[in-house]
Structure 1
């Protein structure tokens, strides 16, 4: 996980519990609510891609157990990765995407997604414009 830091009162890459985005709000601990309720945060994301070997072995293992025909060729897989990377970089030119989120009741069991931004500055500006800070 990336380093946690703060900018303009917004925590970037906070340490979240394992089931943070799949926990009903009414069952959260008071400590978690005090720390996160109505406090925006930003998660820095980057494209993660499996190697051919990881992909192949994941699909061959139970419960998937796909045939080689269904998995396809290594060449096709690598071409798909190349296209995914190209599209990611076209949208997120820095190589990173900044996801503005807030545990604010917008969903009953997870934080609300307040958008994806190409730069950290854009995400911070959006938090201000949306009245999150």
Structure 2
């Protein structure tokens, strides 16, 4: 069933909800599906003057779930079960002199090119490994990612922790700059600088913009 609905500015949009009877099985609870249904539910809630929670439940049922809670829980399980990609992890590499005693903004371009966001493993006396990475988590040294019992465990820790840190580092933040409210992405590597994503008249507008980015919708 296709509905044409109006957003708050009166612009017509189309949200597509299939009837439950038309769906033979549950749609895979991917991040893309969750983000899309959140956006569509907001539009439907406005158009029908119903609660956002009810619109979310309706959207979930249209894809084979009892309610939004069930869809969201299965999405979390789906994300946790996703395989972690393996990394080519250097073991006991020869690091530059003073590697863990140098401010990141004083490192050479060659050192950053070779070691930034590149996890490595250091052997321990017990046969295990310590996993570290130069990623900006510390201002003058590599970040400790964890201890591993063997090299396979070390690779998994490295991949998981690097992905988690990149997601955190890339997340947009609100910055107050004199009479401006700026949404920006902090520098991802020494020397890159801060990237402005938008300038707004209030912190509420800035937060709404960040929420739009999180849900995967293109900025207005």
The TM-score with structure 2 as length reference comes to 0.34
Runs of 4 or more off by more than 6 Å in structure 1? none
Give how far 1:30 is off: 0.6
Deviations 1:37-67 (A, max 9, x none): 0111111122xxxxxxxxxxxxxxxxxxxxx
Kindly indicate whether structure 1 or structure 2 has the higher relative contact order, using CA contacts under 8 Å at least 6 residues apart: 1
Give secondary structure in 2 for the equivalent of 1:35. Answer: helix
Aligned residue for 1:120?
151
Q: Which residue of 1 aligns with 2:106?
A: 27
What CA distance in whole angstroms lies between the structure 1 residues aligned with 2:159 and 2:135? 15
Instruction: State the secondary structure of the residue aligned to 1:110.
Output: coil
TM-score by length of 1: 0.54
- The gaps in structure 1 that reach 5 residues or longer are 1-6, 47-94
> CA–CA distance in 2 between the matches of 1:15 and 1:129?
24
Pairwise CA RMSD of aligned residues? 2.0
1:79-98 aligned within 5 A: 95-98=126-129
CA distance in 2, matches of 1:125, 1:24: 28
Residues 58-96 of structure 1 show CA distances to partners (whole Å, capped at 9, x for unaligned) of: xxxxxxxxxxxxxxxxxxxxxxxxxxxxxxxxxxxxx22
Q: Classify the secondary structure of the residue corresponding to 2:90.
A: strand
Q: Which runs of 5+ in 2 are unaligned?
A: 1-85, 165-220
Aligned residue-pair number:
79
**Higher Cα radius of gyration:** 2
CA distance in 2, matches of 1:99, 1:107: 17
